[in-house]
Structure 1
Amino acid sequence: MDKGVVPNGMMIAQNQTLVTEFILLGLSSNPRTQLVLFVVFSVVYLLILAGNAIIMITIVHDHGLHTPMYFFLCNLSIIDICHATVTVPKMLADFLSTEKTISFGGCVAQMFFLHLFACTEIFLLTVMAYDRYVAICNPMHYLTIMNHKVCLLLAGTIWLGGTVHSLALTGMTIKLPYCGPREVDNFFCDVPPVIKLACTDTYIIEILIISNSGLISVVCFVVLVVSYGVILVSLRNHFSEGRRKALSTCAAHLTVVTLFLGHCIFIYSRPSTSFSEDKVVSVFFTAVTPLLNPIIYTLRNEEMKRALHKLLGRKISGEKM
């Protein structure tokens, strides 16, 4: 490169070329494949918005669902909408664009909100497991233990914890110098692929990421599995109908936990080396899991289905009058 000539997306600062934007390599470089993916993920994103919105509206309108379990489920739907919105709209736009760039500030914002919502969801799933543990193992004192004030305190704590985690992780990332290359090997900005582009040794940062995100994921996963194990053991003393309902709820929660935390453990519990499976796992993390949550928690939940039918019946009656 000639002296003084700087490629697009870079600027000179203190005798060093700094990156001002990144290039997202995306899921495919084939135009036809990108068009197909655009259609598929457009439908997926609309279903995520519609499914989670229906859950929230149903819970708000049905007073029979104003319980701790559905309060946390409503929070989960909010997080899923936000989580998908951080990455999917940008991915859809890039499918139709020849220049798949994102500004440095946009990349940082994407990383911050991605980890904010992801970490908050991990904590929320852990709290939901505790809620089911109290409801099944200590039903006589359930409403006393999980009262309105406790639920609000837990919700505030998990959002605060997610914020602190995301600030710490993003803060470590943006302090690194980036002077090229600019290609992020994914369809969104995440900490592992971005720090690979830093023009400095990132070994300590990678260890901190593993001890932060990786440890949170593994510990929460172990806590969740142990919690549901205790619940399953305690279900032996329940009547068949109550046991069937509780097993169905626990199975739904475990499905979500496995899909969501499986990605976090796979990506953040190892040094930032790229595997061919990373993008596929990331698709499940950002798009598939937020889509599955409404299906799992609605189609497998009799109370939600009854409340949804009642809400739809009320709206149809109102339109006829």
Structure 2
Amino acid sequence: MVMLGRGGREIWSGAYGMASVELSVPSQPQLRYKLHSSSKSILAVAVMRAVDQGRLDIDAPLCIYLDPCAQTWGAITLRHLLSHTSGIADITNDMVDGWRGDIASTIAALYDDLSARPLESVPGEVFSYSNFGFTLISLVLEQQYDMPIHDVLRVEVFEPAGMVSASLESPPETGLMYDGHRIEPLAVPGYNGRPDHLQQAYSKMYVIPGAGGVVASAQDCISFLHAVFEGDLISEAALADMLTVPFPDASDVYALGWVVGEARGEPAYGHSGGNNGFIAYLQYRQTDGLALVLLSNRGFTPLRDMLSDIRIALDE
């Protein structure tokens, strides 16, 4: 699914292939895809909303907002987490293995192990991509708003941004892990393998909700990009801060939940996502206000090749 938008509205879209092979359902614009790591940009906006509201200071010590908080994390800030420079080990696999039904309970169960682990680097010095860092941010938001991260994102981002069908991947009601595809309204299944031999993928993004759990349609994503860059979802100061690369020696492209690139020699902002059954890409071009969204439920989609072709076509 490819969609271009301007001013928050679709100006062109193309739906290709089958959304569900088993049910013979073709791809359609209203269907919802898992965004995986593109969700990080959405979580970053929720953080900046909290900054605008005076709930958070992203340069204050993390332990002011997080309870419990390991002693080794004393120098870490939300800015470090948002820019993947915290030095905290990425224990996403431990989260999966030790899932207790929600992120708070799971992290609490792992707290002794987390407290005993030294940092892998000095905060702010080394870029190391971390899903767990964004999972900690989700927990901070839960504690600050006193509601589950599902509700925080719904109230603070989805609804004000006009993302009418967006949600977070739902965890199993039993509190245990599930194996198999969970059926949710208008949500397509994901596939791995290769074009002539598909294998259904079973995502567990509910374990790292703010880091990868958003499920949304292409129009939801267009609406989100418009609300961030052309609306009043966050203040101009918060937007500028969010899009500034804070530690250029550590990473020259990653700001706060957003990747800074170029289009026609001008800044363009976005984030890719996926690997298990889904590929996603969101980008806003500053030159002309063009929003680009690419969503696929094939984990082997050649994203870079497709983006190169799309950009060539747009510039012709």
Please confirm whether the aligned pair reaches a TM-score higher than 0.5, indicating the same fold: no
Whichever structure has more helix as a proportion of its residues is 1
TM-score, normalised relative to structure 1: 0.28
Query: Radius of gyration: which is bigger?
Result: 1
TM-score, normalised relative to structure 2: 0.28
